[in-house]
Structure 1
Amino acid sequence: MITGQPLPYFQPLIDTATGRIAGYEALARLRHDDGRIVSAGPLFTDPRTPAHDLLELDRTIRKLALERFRDNPGGFLTLNISPQWIGQLQPNKPLPSLQLLAEIGLAPEQIVFEITELQGDIDQLREVVKRYREAGIRIAIDDFGAGYSMLDRVLALEPDILKLDIQLFRQAASGNGNSGDFVRALALMAEKSGCWIIAEGVETEQELHFALECGARYVQGYLFAKPEENFLPERAVEAQFSALRDHYVSSKLAERAQLAKLRAQLTELFGLLNNWLSTGARPEDLPAHANYPWLLRCFLCDAHGTQISPNYEWQQERWQADPHYLDHNWSWRPYFYQILAEAGEDSRVILSNRYRDATTNQYCMTSGLFIDNSRHLLLVDIDLDAI
């Protein structure tokens, strides 16, 4: 039996394009006799809670949230909906949620149904989602990125919004491990699929910066507002968000200035390396490593991407030649075609995207320049941690 009075709390979603509150997520709470407010969320994952009691709680919270939101001046409301309840619906019967919207008098266009899990009959779920969408309701997928094997089910539902898994998002925003690249890849996939991204659990400026870097359309979290019983004015956090966004832009401009400095250093380095090649290419004659501490290695390829020189790497406080990669062809690497496009008399220094180097397990970029009338390609690998 569930104890406590059910009530909805509301946490705002901030539109990153305007800094204004664009909508709210309705969250289930219980008020106890002593006045304590506790989250009802754990009940939905506790197998000891009777399914009938959960269904009643879910419907009560949903009805109260919709009634409260009906008097809100605008925006949208997201409601969690479990496939567990969808699985109990009878085919071709009216959908209770649509009936409830009509009863309360809310336009479906103001509602987002947030699918909280993707277990169960995907065909039935897809059919119900289709009916919701035909009525004008938008569909969001919660915890996107948490269940990698569920990607096919996400694609099958063709959602309008993807909410990044909060634990994965926080790990990625902290800069630990490979999760940052993984989340960026998920966000890019979402963008190409026409989905908007919601980043929830944003509690720090660093997490906001990462959300913006991922192209999040909406952000949600304690950095701006905790879940509350009442709604906030639309512009309640606009000034705060604007200041944080300006700080983000400033940090990106600083990164751009750093990149411009690196390009200037690379131009200088390529000049020295070109001269070094023409005077015998002895490892001991390479430029002083102290002047370019980010330089991992340099090597020469032919115009087709086949390596024709050893790798020259800084090891044990001196430059050493490593012949292991002679005759390897690197034309399959994305950066090769970036550089190839710039080949010619006015060839310029090109930088690849960031990647993890398989040999050193370091985050790197590769830069290249065609030389000798585009007959040879001079490449250098850059250690990003040293910049």
Structure 2
Amino acid sequence: MIEGQPLPHYQPLIDTATGRIAGYEAFARLRRDNGEVVSAGPLFNSTDVEQHELLQLDRTVRRLALEHFQATPAGFLSLNISPKWLAQVSLEAPLPSLSLLEEVGLPAEQVVFEIAGLEGDPDRLKEVVARYHEAGIRVAVDDFGTGYSMLDQVIALEPDFLKLDIQLLHSATGGSRNSSDFVKSLALVAEKSGCWIIAEGVETEEHLHFALDCGARYVQGYLFGAAQESFVPEDTFQPLFSHLRDQYVQSKLAERGRLRELRLSLSGLFRELREWLDRGGKPEQLRAPAQYPWLLRFFLCDAYGTQISPNYEWTGEWWQQDPRYLDHNWSWRPYFYRILAASGEDRVILSNRYRDASSNRQCMTSGLFIDDGRHLLLVDIDVGRLRP
């Protein structure tokens, strides 16, 4: 038996373009007899509560939230809908959520249905989502990147929003480069599929910066307030967001400055290596790379990307030659065509970060065509040794 009076609480979603509140997500709460308000979330994962009680609680909170939101002049309300309930409704009859929305009288464009998990019959779920879209309601997929959020199912549903999983977001900002790259890849998938990203669980400035890196259109989390029983003016968090956004921009400008310094250093390194090659390219004539502590290795390819020299790697005392990659062709690397496009411009091109297979380090590669485009000089950079 569920104890307490059901009621909704609302957490704001901040529009990263304006810093204003763009909408709210509604959460189920229970008010105990002593006045204490507790989350009803754990009940939905409990085996001790009957499903019909949970369904009644869910619909009661949903109705209250819609009725409360009618007084809000703008923005949208995001309501969680469990695939468990969707699996039980009849597709021959009007969908309960659509009927409820019609009863309350809130415009469909002010509502987002947030589907938490994609378990169940994917064809049935796709049909339900299509009916939501026909009614003018936007759809979000929660916990994208984990659990049941299969990529192929997500693409098939054609949602309007994808919510990055909170645990992935926290892992990505907790020092895990793999998690960071994975989340950014998910965000890129969302962008390519025409979805807007919502980053939830934004609790720190670092979380916000990473969400902005991912191109998040909306952010929500304790950094901008916990869920509350009432709505607040839309510009409540605008000063705070503007300050944090300006800090983010400053950090990006500083990062750009560091990349500019790196390119200048690379220009000097390429100049030294070209002079060394002009003198015959003898290993014993190579200088210690004291000015370039980030240098992992360099090597020479022909114009088509096939390696024609060994790898030259500095051990800390001498240059070591590694011939294992002779005749390997690197034209499949994404950076190759960026360098090719800059051929003849004498510009230093930098790749995106990637994990180097032989050293297991985070690397970038820079390249320059030399000898009138007959050869390609490539330098691998140890990102971990760059100036922070």
Partner of 1:323: 323
Q: What amino acid is aligned across from residue 209 of structure 1 in structure 2?
A: H
| SS in structure 2 at match of 1:125 | helix
- Paired amino acid for 2:166: I
Q: How many Å apart are 1:351 and its aligned residue?
A: 0.8
- For 1:240, the equivalent position in structure 2 comes to 240
- Cα distance per residue 1:55-82 (max 9 Å; x no partner): 0100011011111111112100000001
Amino acid at match of 1:295: L
1:369 aligned partner: 368
Paired residues in the alignment total 386
Partner of 1:15: 15
**Correspondence 1:341 to 2:341:** yes
| One-letter amino acid of the structure 2 residue matched with residue 356 of structure 1 | R
Q: Distance in 1 between matches of 2:284 and 2:24?
A: 64
Q: CA deviation at 1:97?
A: 1.1
Q: Kindly provide the CA deviation profile for residues 256-315 of structure 1, in whole angstroms up to 9, marking residues without a partner as x.
A: 000011111111110000011122323343232221000000100111111111100012
Q: Provide Cα deviations, 1:149-179, integer angstroms capped at 9, x if missing partner.
A: 7212111111000000110111112231401
Q: How many angstroms apart in 2 are the aligned matches of 1:72 and 1:336? A: 53
Counterpart AA for 1:361: N
Q: State TM-score, norm by structure 1.
A: 0.98
Distance 2:151 2:100 in 1: 31
Asked if structure 1 preserves the Cα contact closer than 8 Å seen for 2:119 and 2:148, the reply is no
Bigger Cα displacement from structure 2, 245-254 vs 93-102: 93-102
8 Å Cα contact 1:174/1:207 also seen in 2: no
Separation in 2 of the partners of 1:141 and 1:105?
24
Question: Does the Cα contact within 8 Å between 1:138 and 1:160 map onto a contact in 2?
Answer: yes
Structure 1 position 382 matched with structure 2 position 381: yes
| 1:1-387 superposed matches below 5 A | 1-147=1-147, 150-344=150-344, 346-387=345-386
Q: Distance in 2 between matches of 1:177 and 1:272?
A: 32
Question: Kindly, what percent of the aligned residue pairs are identical?
Answer: 68
Structure 1 runs not aligned, ≥5 long: none
Instruction: String of CA shifts for 1:187-220, please: whole Å, max 9, x gaps.
Output: 0110111100000000000000000000000000
Residue 148 of structure 1 and its aligned partner are, at CA, apart by 6.8
Q: Deviations over 1:326-363 (max 9, x none)?
A: 1111111111111111122x332111111111111111
What is the letter of the counterpart of residue 83 of structure 1? P
What's the Cα RMSD here? 1.1
Q: Alignment partner of 1:10: what SS? A: strand
2:381 and 2:360 map into 1 onto residues whose CA distance is 13
Q: Which amino acid is 1:63 matched to?
A: R
Tell whether the 8 Å contact from 1:174 to 1:206 is kept in structure 2 after alignment. Answer: no
Q: Matches of 1:47 and 1:319 in 2, distance apart?
A: 65
Q: 1-side partners of 2:123 and 2:370: how far apart?
A: 58
- Distance in 2, Cα, partners of 1:359 & 1:35: 61
Q: Which amino acid aligns with 2:305?
A: G
Q: Secondary structure at the match of 2:62?
A: helix
Distance 2:382 2:177 in 1: 16
Distance 2:239 2:100 in 1: 37
Distance in 2 (CA, whole Å) between partners of 1:48 and 1:289 is 67
Unaligned runs of 5+ in 2: none
TM-score (norm 2): 0.97
Distance in 1 (alpha carbons) for counterparts of 2:303 and 2:148:
40
For each residue in 1:213-251, what CA deviation from the matched residue of structure 2 results, as whole angstroms up to 9, or x when unmatched?
A: 000000000001111001110000001000100000000
Query: 4+ residue runs of structure 1 moved beyond 6 angstroms?
Result: none
SS in 2 for 1:169: helix
For 2:246 and 2:285, the matched residues in 1 are separated by 46
